[in-house]
Each structure stands twice: as C-alpha cells, then as structure tokens.
Amino acid sequence: MKLIFLGPPGAGKGTQAKRIEQVHNLVQLSTGDMLRAAIASGSEVGKQAKKVMDGGNLVSDEIVVGIVSERLKDKDLANGFILDGFPRTVGQAKALDKILADSGDALDAVIQINVDDEFLVERITGRYTCANCGKGYHDTFERPKEEGVCDRCGSTAFTRRADDNPETVRERLNAYHAETAPLLPYYAEKGILKTIDGMVEIEQVTGQIDEVLNGIK
Ligand code: ADP
Ligand code: ADP
Ligand code: ZN
C-alpha cells in the first residue's frame, strides 16, 4: 500500500504513521526526519534546509523532491510506505505522481488527519521524542508510563525540536494553509482523499485509519 498522511503540523501524522507501519508492514517516510538527518550530517543541503526550517517556512520543492525520489528507489519499500509530511505543495504532489507513474505505480489513499488550528499550538509545544529510538511523547497527552523513561527502549534521554516553539508554529500553520491545504481538492478530484477526525484520542484516530485501510484491501 502506498499512502500519504496529510495534515497540519501537530495533527498526529508521525504518531499515527509509527503505529500503522508496524501493524500493516509499511515504512514511514518522514521528510522532516530526512531533512533533520541532512542537517545533522552537516551537508550543503542540510545547511540550506536549516535556515528555512528555523523560520517555519517550506524547504524548496527541488531539495525535497530530490531527497524523496532517491529514497523511493530503496528495496525495503516493496510492501509499501506511508509518506508523512510529503507532499506539502502542489508542485511536490505532481512530482510524486510522475515518479510513481514512471514505475507503473500509483497512490492507494491520501488520509487527511483533520485538526482545527486551535489544538495545534498546544500539541506542538508539548511534543518531545526519545533521543534513542525516536518514539514520540507529549507533556500532557502521551506521557511515558514511568516518568522520564522511554516505554519502548528504556532510554532516559529525550529531545525537543528547535522549531517547536509558538512563534515558529504560527509560521508553519501559515505555510500549511497557503501551500499544503490546496492538496486537499487536488486529491479529492482523484477520488483517493479520505478524511478522518484527528481531534479524538490517539487510539481512536488509529482506529479510524485502520477502518480506511481495511476498506482498501
Ligand atoms: P505531526 O507529525 O503531524 O506533526 P505528531 O504526531 O508529532 O504530529 O503529534 C504532535 C504531538 O501531539 C505529539 O507530542 C503527540 O504525542 C501528540 N498527539 C498526537 N496525536 C494526538 C491526539 N490524537 N491527541 C492528543 N495528542 C496527540
Ligand atoms: P511537522 O509535521 O511538525 O510540521 P515536519 O517534521 O514534517 O514537522 O517538518 C519540519 C519542517 O521541515 C517543516 O516546517 C519544513 O520546514 C520542512 N519540511 C518537511 N517536509 C517538507 C516538505 N515536504 N516540503 C518542504 N519543507 C518540508
Ligand atoms: Zn526510546
């Protein structure tokens, strides 16, 4: 299955992708994670991306499409993937259609995780991640069972993203409404857009996604 999880920053795309990939044997492809890896590597692309990401703006289509098209060649994706955070512009969506069509493929579904803006600042400013295994947490909504210890790997080191602050969140929301929301009609016209309610508990959101996926295959 080839899926896109679409929604504003903080909607729960990463949280849900990590839950769904295990059950459905898919691979989560997060362009945010790929860009942060490029920054950590100190590459030229990483340097360019860092400036843009710190301001809450979108990295250029050229850079992001380049990174994704390379990753899509990898053999571990044979059973399918979940794109998390890509595409974010109509230009990226068209580039993806072409990459897939060139190998005789197409998307199975675009799952819109619908969350009103008023929820998102709290979601993002409370977000943190296990520094060892990448499991996501939230100060209020998703705390580890034992305070300060990762449920999944037992690590006691956690990180917060530099761009998860209230000022940058507002810029990121502006970018979402201006550049990414136009993807909703784009995929609706193709008949593959499925919208679910992202304002309920994490488990319930997963349940809705499962229902959509069971309806596909
Ligand atoms: P995205 O990948 O869309 O930016 P995340 O999956 O990182 O969003 O979620 C943002 C934050 O909100 C995380 O800290 C996560 O634990 C929390 N979160 C995700 N889904 C929900 C939900 N349904 N209810 C409450 N908090 C949530
Ligand atoms: P979130 O889901 O919380 O917005 P991501 O990790 O997906 O966070 O993205 C973090 C930042 O990385 C974005 O604000 C943007 O600057 C950059 N980025 C990620 N994916 C893309 C993309 N497909 N196109 C352009 N910029 C991107
Ligand atoms: Zn961990």
Of the two residues 200 and 22, the one the predictor is more confident about is 200
Indicate if ligand 2 lies below 6 Å from the C-beta of 85: yes
What kind and span of H or E run contains 195?
strand 193-197
pLDDT of residue 81 exceeding 80: yes
What distance in Å separates the CA atoms of residue 158 and residue 165, rounded to the nearest whole number? 17
pLDDT of residue 217 exceeding 80: no
Active-site annotation holds for 71: no
Q: Whose CA is nearest to atom 9 of ligand 1?
A: 12
* pTM value > 0.85: yes
Indicate if ligand 1 lies below 6 Å from the C-beta of 8: no
Please say whether the dihedral angle defined by the alpha carbons of residues 210, 131, 167 and 36, taken in this order, is positive or negative: negative
Average pLDDT estimate for 71-83: 95
At 52 the pLDDT is: 96
At 216 the pLDDT is: 87
Average pLDDT estimate for 186-201: 98
Of the two residues 217 and 143, the one the predictor is more confident about is 143
Q: Whose CA is nearest to atom 5 of ligand 1?
A: 12
Indicate if ligand 1 lies below 6 Å from the C-beta of 11: yes
Q: How confident is the model at residue 72 (pLDDT cuts 50, 70, 90)?
A: very high
> Is residue 85 a contact partner of residue 31, using CB atoms and an 8 Å limit?
yes
Q: What is the per-residue pLDDT across 52-68, written as a single tens digit (0 to 9) for each? A: 999 999 999 999 999 99
Q: Please list, in sequence order, all residues whose beta carbon lies within 8 angstroms of the beta carbon of residue 1, skipping any fewer than 6 positions away.
A: 24, 26, 79, 80, 108, 109, 213, 216, 217
What distance in Å separates the CA atoms of residue 62 and residue 102, rounded to the nearest whole number? 18
Residue of 36, 88, 123, 194 marked active site = 88
Q: What is the per-residue pLDDT across 124-167, written as a single tens digit (0 to 9) for each? A: 999 999 999 999 999 999 999 999 999 999 999 999 999 999 99
Q: How confident is the model at residue 113 (pLDDT cuts 50, 70, 90)?
A: very high
Distance of CA 156 to the CA centre of its chain: 25
What distance in Å separates the CA atoms of residue 14 and residue 210, rounded to the nearest whole number? 15
Residue 109: exposed, middle, or buried by beta-carbon count in 10 A (0-12, 13-18, 19+)? Answer: buried
